[in-house]
Structure 1
Amino acid sequence: MLMNSSKLLFLSILINSTFMVYSSSNFLMTWMSMEINLISFLPLITKSKKMKDQPMKYFIIQSLSSSMMLLSMIMKFKIETPINFEMFMMISLMMKMGMIPFHLWMLSFMEKLSWMNCFIMNTLQKLSPILVTSQIISFKMLILPMTLSLMIAPISMMSINSIKKIIGYSSIYNSPWMISSMYVSKSLFFVFFLIYSSLNFMMMKKFKNQNIMFMNQITEKNLLTKLNLMTNLFSINGIPPMLGFFPKWMILNKINEISVTISISMMISTIISTFIYLKLVSFLLLNQTTKKKFTKTLMFNEMEMLINILGTILLFIFKPN
């Protein structure tokens, strides 16, 4: 995505609107900031020729969720009703984040996005809903949707070949981790979000540079590129001793004091996704092609693998109590 003046303007509005959500103490201001975030993201995704009707789909889903959010707050403060407003609020925020069972729109939407917009969708667009979720909804109400997202997302990745859909499911799988870290500690959330964003950026940059859209295209690449991509996937999944394991271990250590159900679901889902990634690794490393493989970015490959392996050092330096 080329950074011309209009895209730079909308991207700056997008970032500022996210900061506005985090700095506001009024719900109406928070809601308005989220709407500004939505309106500023739409021009960034309309330039692509592949999108066609996808921006309208995104606009309808986000507008519906915003309307439900506003309705739930009106029900809370202005109307005496037996309907639980937290349920409406939770459904609207789950729609915004694309969590299961409101995830189908997100997968078809992300498949048509550019890699830069995929990165924004996976990281920046999740910040505002996660903050509102932690401030308004009780943790007990989130146990069921978070457990569904943790269990169904890794299983759904088994039969998918599209890289962007796999990244979409990975985003759904990591959303409960983000929400849990926000309930535990805001500083822990920002550590997890920073590491998660860095790993996503490195992985998507690699896919963009190598022009990889499907898993079977990775078999044509050289061994170092395959190892680098697999290291990134393992790190995002939280497999030790990679960098991504460091914040997830801290979250799991603290969330066990709040909910045993969520901690067990996190461990089981990690085992399932680890099995899927190991199966994927065996397929990619054992299947070779006769095409000539060039290694032009050897130094960058080694640097990315070094960053992921730094997780081992961090575990010894910052051990959670």
Structure 2
Amino acid sequence: MLMNSTKLMFMMFLTLSTVMVYSSSSFIMSWLSMEINLISFLPIITKSKKMKDQSMKYFIIQSLSSSMMLLSIIMNFKIETPINFENLMMMSLMMKMGMIPFHLWILSFMEKLTWMKCLLMNTIQKLSPIVIISQMINFKTTILPMVLSLFMAPISMIKVNSIKKMMTYSSIYNSPWMISSIYISKNVFMLFFLIYSTMNFLFSKKMNEQNIMFFNQITEKTSSSKINLMINLISMSGMPPTMGFFPKWIILSKMNEISILISIMMLFSTIISSFIYLKILSSILLNQSTKKKFFKSMNFNETELVMNLMGTINFILFKPN
């Protein structure tokens, strides 16, 4: 994503609005900060005529969810309400994040974005709703949406052929982990978010450099490229002893003190997602293209290997208290 002065300005507003949500102490300020975030993000994603339709779709969905959020805030000021405002607030924030069952819009939307803009959707754009969930909603209200996303997202990933859709389902699957981590501790949340963002950045950068959109394109790549992809996906799925498992291990150990049932569900969903990732990777690694490879063989990139070896070192040095 090329950064001219206009995009740089909107990126600054995007970051500033996220910080405003994190530091605000009132409902109205949080809502206003999310509106600034929406207005800042729209010019970033609007580039071609094809994206103008998608940006309008994004604007309508976000506006609808913001209206629901504002309605829930107004309901909260009333003494007696027939509907619990937390349920309406949770629905609006789920719609903003694209969590199941409000996820259909984000699948088609992410398909049209570039890889770097997909990275923004999977990382920075999730911060504000997650912070508001932790500030305004009771943990018990979030259990059902979290369980739905934990189990439905990996299962929906089985028949997917597009890598961007796979990344979207992976983002939906990791959203309950982010929500759980911020209820445990802000430090745990920042650790998980930092590692998750780093893994997403490495993966998106690689896909962007090699211009890969679908899994069948990977079969034409060299063995070193396939191994790099395998290391990235295994780490993002949270398999031990990779770097991606290290924050999830901390979240699971802390979640036992809050709810053993939720931690068991998280563990089972991790097993399901790891199995599906391995199934995808096995088909990629075993399939070989019959085309003659005229392109230059790429050197093995050691970034992913070093990052995941750091995960093994973290197991040795750190223990969750």
Q: Which residue of 2 aligns with 1:252?
A: 252
SS in 2 for 1:51: helix
- Higher alpha-carbon deviation: 47-56 or 32-41: 47-56
**TM-aligned CA deviation for residue 296 of structure 1:** 5.9
Deviations 1:243-281 (A, max 9, x none): 001000000111121122221211111111111111112
**TM-aligned CA deviation for residue 50 of structure 1:** 3.2
Q: Which residue of 2 aligns with 1:65?
A: 65
State the TM-score, normalized to the length of structure 2: 0.97
Correspondences of 1:6-45 after superposition (within 5 Å): 6-45=6-45
Distance 2:297 2:58 in 1: 38
Q: 1:47 to 1:76 in 2, by over 3 A?
A: same
2:197 is equivalent to residue 191 of structure 1: no
2:202 is equivalent to residue 202 of structure 1: yes
Correspondences of 1:70-89 after superposition (within 5 Å): 70-78=70-78, 80-89=80-89
Q: 1:293 to 1:225 in 2, by over 3 A?
A: farther
Q: Percent identity?
A: 69
Q: Which residue of 1 aligns with 2:275?
A: 275
Aligned residue type for 2:156: S
Over the aligned positions, Cα root-mean-square deviation in angstroms equals 1.3
Distance 2:297 2:245 in 1: 30
SS in 1 for 2:25: coil
Q: 1:296 to 1:220 in 2, by over 3 A?
A: closer
Distance 1:208 1:263 in 2: 35
Distance 1:123 1:107 in 2: 16
SS in 2 for 1:141: helix
Ranges in structure 2 where 5+ consecutive residues have no aligned partner? none
Q: 1:314 to 1:294 in 2, by over 3 A?
A: farther
Correspondences of 1:283-302 after superposition (within 5 Å): 283-290=283-290, 291-292=292-293, 294=295, 297-298=298-299, 301-302=301-302
Q: Which residue of 2 aligns with 1:53?
A: 53
Distance 2:254 2:319 in 1: 13
Q: 1:269 to 1:48 in 2, by over 3 A?
A: farther
Q: Which residue of 1 aligns with 2:136?
A: 136
Aligned residue type for 1:275: F
**TM-aligned CA deviation for residue 295 of structure 1:** 5.6
Q: Which residue of 2 aligns with 1:181?
A: 181
Distance 2:190 2:271 in 1: 25
8 Å CA contact retained: 1:243, 1:308: yes
Correspondences of 1:157-168 after superposition (within 5 Å): 157-168=157-168
**TM-aligned CA deviation for residue 82 of structure 1:** 2.2
Q: Which residue of 2 aligns with 1:235?
A: 235
SS in 1 for 2:234: helix
Ranges in structure 1 where 5+ consecutive residues have no aligned partner? none
Distance 2:61 2:304 in 1: 36
Q: Which residue of 2 aligns with 1:306?
A: 306
Deviations 1:207-261 (A, max 9, x none): 0001100011111111111111111111111101110010000001111211222
State the TM-score, normalized to the length of structure 1: 0.97
SS in 2 for 1:256: helix
Deviations 1:181-211 (A, max 9, x none): 0000000000000000000000000000011
- Higher alpha-carbon deviation: 251-260 or 103-112: 251-260
